[in-house]
């Protein structure tokens, strides 16, 4: 027994270096204090890694040689690996990003007039299985860690910058609308969005970083205590009967419960003028009728919001069809006449499968994926009290 233990210790791998990429200011302060260093090192390091894009400790010239040496030996800034990069005819860019373990997620950049939006993933796959979303169909593998989430921003910002005066396709906004449900990966997502908004990192204002959720209410109730990021909720239906079919999570947290929670989130924000964004994917003959627009207008009466209509993007195997143009404009007009700001999200990057709901990534080990998927589904249904 004793000799076995000795063998194990002899053959055990060298301690893995700590990855500093996903650590926010508080985590870095704790890290440096443990090394006997002063607090301000945290802000220095954030500037090097995120604002300047320097990941080689040797180049961090405002740190002592001894500290740089120690960092090189015990820590690293480990970026996720870009496997491929596709560019659409309309200027949209999609990166396939490999994560530890070999699976990949997708990150999309969408250039528009006066802004450039980066759409970031938070999980490998998704457990929610919304009936109209390709990500859900490919199952769930695992949560991304904070480094893998902020790493997507690091990669895009290195290529495109953040300043429109320098590059017409700069990253001016970040949305957590890629693969996954951000609120089911709460701590990592919060660490990453707070880095996006940190002065020493990317410095985006809270209006330029948006977290989109299908409505994980208990997590949404905690969100306002730890961040003031902009909020989008994926509604897609004006009543519970229909939303239960489109977004199974609704059976656990129905619409009124979600809207109440969204309003509580707004109440916690210091700036009382802020609104949430309500996302509504328009699907032909499912949720695009005029009476459904009127029902939606009535439903949202007491929720400070603007409404973003997303034409459904088809993907292989889906039986839904995209909304017709006439139905789409009629739907928008009814909302506008009822006094809402309602916009239609233009479909971008469809030729490279980068449009909303088309992100599927790649999971190398399909057997493990489907097995993990089944486990995660069972687990998620158990946790959420959804009947299988």
Interface with ligand SAH (CB under 6 A), residue from 22, 24, 111, 357: 357
Region 161-190 residues binding ligand SAH, contact defined as CB under 6 A: 177, 181
- 16 noted as active-site residue: no
What is the C-alpha to C-alpha distance for residues 51 and 45, in angstroms, rounded to an integer? 10
Q: Give φ, ψ of 30 to 5 degrees.
A: -60, -40
Nearer residue to ligand SAH within complex by CB, 173 or 213:
213
Segment interacting with ligand SAH (CB under 6 A) among 62-70, 83-91, 209-217, 333-341: 209-217
What is the C-alpha to C-alpha distance for residues 232 and 212, in angstroms, rounded to an integer? 4
Least distance in angstroms from the C-beta of 349 to ligand SAH: 12
Least distance in angstroms from the C-beta of 352 to ligand SAH: 15
Segment interacting with ligand SAH (CB under 6 A) among 16-24, 101-109, 164-172, 206-214: 206-214
What is the C-alpha to C-alpha distance for residues 164 and 175, in angstroms, rounded to an integer? 18
- 106 noted as active-site residue: yes
Select from 242, 209, 335, 230 the least CA-distant residue to 276. 230
For the chain, give the number of residues: 388
Question: Residue 72 has which token pair?
Answer: 């090189």
User: How is the beta sheet containing 209-213 ordered, strand by strand?
Assistant: 81-87, 93-98, 104-112, 115-119, 173-176, 209-213, 230-234, 276-282, 305-311, 342-344
Least distance in angstroms from the C-beta of 315 to ligand SAH: 6
Interface with ligand SAH (CB under 6 A), residue from 213, 227, 230, 380: 213
Least distance in angstroms from the C-beta of 95 to ligand SAH: 17
Q: Classify the phi-psi angles of 129: left when phi > 0, otherwise alpha if psi is within -120 to 50, otherwise beta.
A: left
Nearer residue to ligand SAH within complex by CB, 22 or 180:
180
User: Using CB under 6 A as the criterion, which residues of the chain lie in contact with ligand SAH when the complex forms?
Assistant: 130, 132-133, 177, 181, 212-214, 234, 279, 281, 310, 312-313, 356-357
The residues annotated as belonging to the active site are 106, 356
């Amino acid at each position: 027994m004793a000799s076995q233990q000795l063998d194990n210790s002899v053959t055990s791998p060298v301690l893995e270096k700590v990855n500093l990429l996903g650590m926010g200011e508080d985590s870095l302060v704790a890290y440096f204090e443990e090394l006997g260093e002063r607090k301000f090192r945290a802000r220095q390091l954030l500037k090097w890694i995120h604002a300047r894009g320097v990941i080689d400790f040797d180049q961090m010239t405002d740190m002592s040689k001894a500290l740089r040496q120690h960092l090189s030996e015990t820590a690293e800034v480990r970026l996720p690996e870009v496997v491929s990069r596709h560019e659409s005819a309309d200027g949209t860019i999609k990166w396939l990003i490999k994560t530890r373990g070999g699976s990949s997620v997708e990150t999309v950049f969408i250039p528009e007039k006066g802004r450039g939006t980066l759409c970031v993933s938070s999980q490998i796959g998704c457990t929610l299985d919304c009936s109209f979303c390709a990500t859900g169909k490919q199952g769930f593998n695992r949560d991304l860690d904070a480094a893998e989430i902020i790493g997507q921003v690091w990669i895009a910002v290195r290529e495109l910058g953040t300043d429109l005066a320098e590059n017409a396709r700069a990253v001016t906004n970040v949305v957590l609308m890629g693969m996954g449900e951000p609120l089911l990966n709460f701590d990592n997502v919060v660490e990453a969005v707070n880095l996006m908004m940190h002065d020493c990192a990317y410095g985006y204002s809270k209006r330029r970083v948006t977290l989109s959720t299908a409505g994980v209410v208990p997590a949404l109730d905690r969100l306002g205590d730890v961040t003031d990021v902009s909020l989008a909720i994926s509604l897609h239906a004006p009543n519970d009967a229909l939303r239960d079919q489109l977004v199974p999570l609704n059976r656990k947290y129905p619409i009124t419960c979600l809207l109440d929670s969204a309003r509580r989130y707004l109440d916690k924000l210091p700036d009382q003028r802020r609104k949430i964004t309500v996302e509504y994917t328009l699907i032909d003959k499912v949720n695009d009728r005029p009476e459904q627009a009127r029902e939606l207008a009535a439903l949202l009466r007491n929720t400070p919001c603007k409404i973003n209509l997303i034409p459904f993007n088809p993907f292989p195997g889906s039986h839904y069809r995209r909304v017709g143009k006439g139905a789409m404009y009629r739907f928008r007009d009814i909302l506008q006449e009822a006094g809402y700001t309602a916009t239609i999200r233009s479909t971008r990057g469809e030729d490279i499968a980068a449009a909303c709901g088309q992100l599927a990534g790649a999971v190398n080990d399909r057997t493990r994926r489907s097995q993990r998927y089944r486990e995660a589904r069972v687990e998620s249904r158990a946790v959420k009290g959804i009947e299988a």
